[in-house]
Amino acid sequence: MKKRSPMAAIQSSPTTRLERDSMGELAVPATAYYGVQTARAIENFPISSLRFPRAMIRALGRIKRAAATVNQSLGLLDKSTASAITQAATDVVEGRLDAEFPVDIFQTGSGTSTNMNTNEVISNRATELLGGARGSKLVHPNDHVNLGQSSNDVIPTAIHIAAGELIRQQLIPALTSLQKSLTHKAKEFDQIVKIGRTHLQDATPVRLGQEFGGYARQIALGIHRVTQAQAALSEVALGGTAVGTGLNCHPKFSAKVLALISKETGCIFLKARNHFEAQSAQDSLVDASGALKTLAVSLMKIANDIRWLGSGPRCGLGEINLPETQPGSSIMPGKVNPVIAESVTMVCAQVIGNDVTITVGGQAANFELIVMLPVMAYNLFQSIELLAAVSTNFATKCIDGITANEARCKSLIEQSLAMCTALAPEIGYDAAAKLAKEAYKSGKTVRQIAKEQKVLSDKRLAQLLDPWRMTEPGGPVGSAGG
């Protein structure tokens, strides 16, 4: 039996209305606020379950609402039509019509289907507010809602607005919280000396607080990078219309619209200095994704270190104790795993993968238009939201609850062969290396072997082999290992 298309089912339903566009008539669900072009997109792109998130729909609503206000002020829309569009767009902004945005992410590369989806929803809702029937186009999706606009400038503008809002309202606060948690632990653990590790091998001592201070600095730099990325997104394409020339757009339109949106969001959005750059490429999205990827790399390093430092509890490093959040095994009773840190690493892997897609999308810019905008946007939004959520979770469910295993830290320091590094400036590198090898073979500590061989006085050995002293700059000058 031949499989029926989704549109065939719609056409055979008694609860439909007929709408017409430039390609002819098509049945649309009678209760839908979307219209014929959205219905075509549903039929044309049955690809995935992926849809634009709330942030993008909200941004599109903001653009259409501000556009109606500005077009009225410029004498291009009558008051009643502009008022109806403004109210309908507000419904979109506030999420009351989210179910009316069914178009797949994998659609036309400019996002035209989603722009028209927005225009149709607002058109039909505004028409309804004015007493007209859905589909009657009393308020026209193109002539009124899309006045002075093109999908080619609206969609990239909406992406920038949505990403800028997400970074400012979700990601930066989450990272700030994580950075504060790490800084607090750096201070709490500052008196605890432990063995350092390079190449996963014993190295000279370091304070646990110094390690956590390094993590805090990584996140502080991550905040700086994403803040810069947000600034790079401030230039938007609106006003360029089809190819960047601004055809069919009032010269004052975009600046006025962006002033309204900037005031609403608390983010600065400005008319692009060069509309041909803003519409034919999206280097700023690639740049923003690169900042997110770098942040993911930082988080991956921190989460992996946390897992290693807390490994055990008896047969691993065990220098810190991680909060116990859930049973770790279906077969091993009492086992507890570093699940919060593991969730961080998986988010990081996803973000790094998203960056590859965004990078490839950024190359899909042919002449006056980039044609992978929807998938670039989806991945960018997902990366921002995942990083924000996992940073908050990492701080509250892991970092805040970490305690130090001070006794374990102390015991491992004295056993380390790297303690001989502090002796090298006075007895020489080769002699210090010989001591380390003898300590390893005998099972004794470097301190014990040095005392037995009387390489230095007991007082001088105590000075040089003081672990705390080794965590600060200074002391005898010489090779410090590698």
DSSP state of 399: G
**Cβ-based neighbours of 49, under 8 Å, separated by 6 or more:** none
- Among 21, 34, 152, 130, which residue's Cα sits nearest to residue 82? 130
Q: Which of 265, 279, 33, 55 is nearest to 149 (CA)?
A: 279
| 198 SS3 class | strand
Q: Do residues 109 and 365 touch, judged by C-beta distance below 8 A?
A: no
Nearest to 356 by CA among 290, 284, 297, 283: 290
Beta strands in 225-300 (DSSP E): 235-236, 270-271
DSSP string, 350-415: HHHHHHHHHHHHHT-EETTEES-HHHHHHHHHHHHHHHHHHHHHHHHHTGGG-EE-HHHHHHHHHH
The residue type at 461: L
224 in catalytic set:
no
> 135: phi > 0 → left, psi -120 to 50 → alpha, else beta; which?
left
In Å, what is the CA distance from 366 to each residue of 243, 279, 363, 374?
12, 10, 8, 16
Contacts of 71 (CB under 8 A, 6+ apart): 77, 82, 147, 148, 250, 253
- Catalytic member of 48, 329, 442, 479: 329
Give the bridge partners for 153, in sequence order: none
Rounded to whole angstroms, the Cα distance separating 310 from 186 reads: 16
Catalytic residue chosen out of the listed positions 22, 49, 199, 330: 199
329 is catalytic: yes
Residues annotated catalytic, as ranges: 199, 329
